[in-house]
Amino acid sequence: MEKQEIREIEQRCIEEEKNLIFDTFSQTEALKLGSFIYEKSKNCSGPVAIEIRINRLTVFSFFPDGTNENNLLWLRAKAKTVDMTQKCSLRFWIDVQLSGSSPENKRMPENEYACCGGGFPLTVKNAGVIGTICVSGLPHMEDHKLIVDSLKQYLSQR
């Protein structure tokens, strides 16, 4: 992938993070959002595990048939990445790609953090990042797209 294309993806991610925010968010809202993402994921090429956390507490988690413990490991790593960076895990991947560095050089070992798409900050207006929305099961760019497309549609219906 060319650096220019990566920079374009980075700008898109920055805009998504800026615009895909909630006025308020609760555990009940997590159930609604998680269920919404699951319904959208049924149109994907394979099963997708979903996890939503508020302040590192898992408030929604679903592993449809075809997912397994490997998906759980990816969800944890993606959530850790978002918690550490306060941005989507795809932007961490972009940072690594553009810097020519490695996750280890950023003190984020690959066995604990995910250098790929599929983790997104759960942001509340006037509060900032309060949690994470993560999915696992598709190629990493598709994982990211599933979250973003779901959030756009979900927030437009509120």
pLDDT band at 27 (very low <50, low <70, confident <90, very high): very high
Segment 84-91 shows an average pLDDT of 97
Q: Which amino acid is at 113?
A: Y
User: What domains sit in the chain, N to C, each tagged with a CATH number?
Assistant: 3-156 (3.30.450.150)
CA–CA separation, 131 vs 40, rounded Å?
21
Q: What is the pTM of this model?
A: 0.96
- C-alpha distance across the termini of the chain, in Å: 37
